[in-house]
Structure 1
Amino acid sequence: MTISSTSRANPILLVIHGGPGSTYSMFEDATQQFARQFTVVHWDQRGAGKTYRKQKVVPRNLQTLVEDGLTLTQKLKRVFPDVPIILWGSSIGSILANLMVQQGENLYDLYVATEQMTQDSHQFAYDQLLAETKHQSLRRHWLQKLPADAHHWTAKQINQFNIFSAIQRSDVPNMVTTLFIKNMLQNRDYSWQDCLAFIQGMRASYRALHKELDAFDYRRLLTKIGMPFVIFQGAHDPITPAQATQRYFDQVQAPVKKLFIVPGAGHLCLFARPKEVSELRRLVFANKYDDRGCRPRRNLA
């Protein structure tokens, strides 16, 4: 776990990374910008990154990671008493964060998702990419090897599609080359052993969780929440398209909810456009906290 901040009084931004096993702690440049406004907590989950390098242990299931996250949150509340905690789930991490809120809503003050995974994400992404490649026979031929109904894809097929679709987009920062690889190579705190552990951890976590992810029931995602509910969505995300995110967002009932479309961004939109996080700070402080400084008032629109 790494903690970056300019003030202990800043709201905590607890980052739940995607993957499985795809830690975000290498995004130093973006984290420095976030840390001007928040206490940013990057957590390499069990089976991910530097945690996996220290101990070759993988999660038994998704619930293992949910419980780890809740335990970590409780420790943060002891170290930073009376400081609001914003839970940020990204990509597959948006599933974990979603489940964490359902099991420990009283621990958090605001829920944020980026690249929110939904029941329709893969289908919209597949249909979108198939339409865009109709004049590119080789790419179209590869896509048509996948089942037309993306709801029946395996985790392996999902992983293959995600990598393929990310490479196809040239109008947004590439998730693999521009974001992950570039940041790992430029981060002074990332050794070659850490880079190796990142790759090994992703493989190990995939083997541990792929069957559960294959069968995940997206009806388990929350549809009602008692705190502000916020989604940041890359306008040109090839993996979790805006149409699917919008459909899920419309279903959620919350006292305050906001959907921010991030222009010029694909997957991992806040790492590609970190200045957009200022919108989150404005939303946090637009809500008056109670006498303890923790819980936003529920009657704000």
Structure 2
Amino acid sequence: MIPEKKRSIAIMKELSIENTKQMLMINGANTKNPLLLFLHGGPGTPQIGYVRHYQKELEEHFTVVHWDQRGSGLSYSKRISHHSMTISHFVNDAIQVTQWLLDHFSKTKLYLAGHSWGSLLALHVLRQRPDLFYAYYGISQVVNPHLEESAAYQYIREISDRKRASIRSSLIRFIGAPPWKKGIQQLIYRFCVEMGRGGLTHHHHQSLAVLFQMLTGHEYGIRNMHKFLNGLRFSKKHLTKELYQFNAFASVPSIKVPCFFISGKHDLIVPSEISKQYYQALEAPEKFWFQFENSAHNPHIEEPSLFASTLSNHALYHL
């Protein structure tokens, strides 16, 4: 018997959802592999511009789908109504993207991954349509932004107090504890987080590498950076308030599919202690906790081989 030939895929696909054009990037070594849909972070920070550099191994096991969400990146448009920039609309978008993927690839279910803001959306999606998914991978799982900022602030304050003469110590004392009413306080706080090597990446050179990939890659490049920046501003303006109202303990106490939570040890944007409290309280058929020792907020980018092996080891049944 002649073995079936593998069919790789590498396409960009524009979907029309509720009178908006939304962009997908689909890549994999074999379309017979299961689908893995990523919900990116932010609000407004899509991954299409750089992520292929970090998912070569992942593409051997899954057909990986990235989606620039409504109003973000390649899906940004001045014509998008700010009234549609709500969690409810984004959840409906994600379900429509999922259903299109299942129909297009003749699949019955797929795997769902949510990173940061995307992990918030994922919990709502799973709450509404668990029947569409084999399992969920929550990366830097958002649970309660107020608790997460308070935990990070307390950690930074304690570390900074040991070095009273440091710039970070002065700044963190200046802004005081959250919640903050002024934008400058939030900016100073994020600066302190990045200084503490607990921000987007644990090692600063990795953040610079991501920026380089965005500027030089063919998916975005310099020509599309204005869409990325405009989408970032637009998304944060209209979604931040609703983000800060989220409390997973109250709104999503249970999920009907297996759940895997992956947290970076050094993450101060979404501290692992809060994510782990949610993991421990959550009701699910199966649940697992993974901490990546050399990562901050982007473990799937900072430790891509470990990320790929973690997911593929679990999904072995469907590979």
Classify the TM-score, shorter chain.
0.7 to 0.9
Give the C-alpha shift of residue 154 in structure 1. 5.7
The equivalent residue for 2:155 is: 128
- Secondary structure of the residue aligned to 1:248 is helix
- Secondary structure of the residue aligned to 2:32 is coil
The equivalent residue for 2:313 is: 282
Paired residue type of 2:119: S
| In structure 2, distance between residues paired with 1:193 and 1:184 | 10
CA contact (8 A) 1:223 1:253 kept: yes
CA contact (8 A) 1:237 1:266 kept: yes
Which range moved further: 214-223 or 116-125? 214-223
The equivalent residue for 1:67 is: 92
Q: State the superposition RMSD in angstroms.
A: 2.5
The equivalent residue for 2:275 is: 245
| In structure 1, distance between residues paired with 2:40 and 2:297 | 13
The CA deviation string for residues 171-193 of structure 1, in whole angstroms up to 9 with x for no partner, is 92339833541321342332212
| In structure 1, distance between residues paired with 2:156 and 2:138 | 23
> Judging changes above 3 Å, is the alpha-carbon distance between structure 1 residues 163 and 2 closer, same or farther for their aligned structure 2 residues?
farther
Decide which of 38, 52, 61 is 1:37's aligned counterpart.
61
The equivalent residue for 1:272 is: 302
The percent of aligned pairs where both chains have the same amino acid is: 27
| In structure 2, distance between residues paired with 1:55 and 1:35 | 34
The equivalent residue for 1:216 is: 246
Q: Relative to total residues, which structure has the larger strand share, 1 or 2?
A: 2
Paired residue type of 1:141: S
CA contact (8 A) 1:22 1:202 kept: yes
Paired residue type of 1:31: Q
Query: What are the within-5 Å matches in structure 2 for residues 11-160 of structure 1?
Result: 11-26=34-49, 27-52=51-76, 59-82=84-107, 84-119=109-144, 120-134=147-161, 135=163, 136-148=165-177, 150=178, 152-153=179-180, 156=183, 158=186
> Judging changes above 3 Å, is the alpha-carbon distance between structure 1 residues 179 and 155 closer, same or farther for their aligned structure 2 residues?
farther
4+ residue segments displaced more than 6 Å? none
| In structure 1, distance between residues paired with 2:227 and 2:75 | 9
The equivalent residue for 1:299 is: none
| In structure 2, distance between residues paired with 1:260 and 1:72 | 28
The CA deviation string for residues 209-236 of structure 1, in whole angstroms up to 9 with x for no partner, is 1222233344444222221100111111
Gaps of 5+ in 2: 1-23
CA contact (8 A) 2:45 2:232 kept: yes
Q: Give the length in aligned residue pairs.
A: 286
Gaps of 5+ in 1: 294-301
